[in-house]
Amino acid sequence: MEKETYWSHFAADFEKRNSYVIGKPDLGLAKAKVARQQDLGRVLELGCGNGTYSELIAPRTDCVLATDFSDEMVCVAKKKLKNFCNVRVEKRNCLETGYEDNSFDTVLMVNLLHIIPDPRSALEEAGRVLKPGGRIMVLSFTTAGMTLRNKLTMIFRYLRAYGKPPENNRHIDPKSMRDLLLRAGFAVEESTLIGQRCKAVWATGVYMDCQTCIQKITTRKAGSPGE
């Protein structure tokens, strides 16, 4: 399998670097947002990094499969999550996870879609493994909605912590996130900015496979004879 070469270098102290770039208050708000989600059922996290977000949701889910493409991140996440009997950590590529169709209730992606070359394919893969009506939760830090001063400060801190950004780094805002989700077959529940000085796009959606869409349309038509 191909090797991840950018984030792997930062696996040992990823959380410390991230906290320096984003700042504790806004990182705390992002974590709290994820931690508040309920009724998640069987969860797949794609691009889990060192396991921060799987750790947050583990106490309130049936089970979590935390996955990442980097051997080093998988190793750190395994150590971090070893005390949760409902969490498993595996090396997987988010574009081709190899999991069965319709096998998860929720897919979580944190800080993944803006750093990969093909976010739409990753979302389609999420749709494939989600049960019809399953939920996607996406969080991605962004410069959207930040003041110029806060933007420049964050970019400076990013360069100090990580150096040059990965090649495929892209700007995502609530509108482009909404469009990405819609094109991959999700009905978008929300796509919004959270955070104070540093911002993140938070979006959730429900996967609608063709069958579910047809059923919904049929039910709607049956209920409104005027249409």
Ligand X SMILES: C[S@@+](CC[C@H](N)C(=O)[O-])C[C@H]1O[C@@H](n2cnc3c(N)ncnc32)[C@H](O)[C@@H]1O
Interaction site with ligand X (CB under 6 A): 4, 7, 46-49, 52-53, 68-70, 73, 93-95, 110-112, 115-116
We find the least distance from the C-beta atom of residue 101 to ligand X, in angstroms, to be 19
Work out the number of other CB atoms within 10 angstroms of the CB of residue 185: 20
Give the three-state DSSP class for 15. helix
We find the least distance from the C-beta atom of residue 224 to ligand X, in angstroms, to be 43
Nearer to ligand X (CB atom), residue 168 or residue 218: 168
Nearer to ligand X (CB atom), residue 199 or residue 208: 199
Residue nearest to ligand X (CB): 49
We find the least distance from the C-beta atom of residue 197 to ligand X, in angstroms, to be 18
We find the least distance from the C-beta atom of residue 44 to ligand X, in angstroms, to be 11
Nearer to ligand X (CB atom), residue 47 or residue 205: 47
Do residues 130 and 107 touch, judged by C-beta distance below 8 A? yes
Nearer to ligand X (CB atom), residue 54 or residue 191: 54
Which tokens go with 163? 């150096």
**Beta strands 186-194 and 130-142, pairing class:** unpaired
Q: What is the DSSP string of 77-145?
A: HHHHTTT-TTEEEEE-BTTB--PPTT-EEEEEEES-TTTSS-HHHHHHHHHHHEEEEEEEEEEEEESTT
Do residues 58 and 87 touch, judged by C-beta distance below 8 A? yes
Nearer to ligand X (CB atom), residue 51 or residue 185: 51
We find the least distance from the C-beta atom of residue 80 to ligand X, in angstroms, to be 11
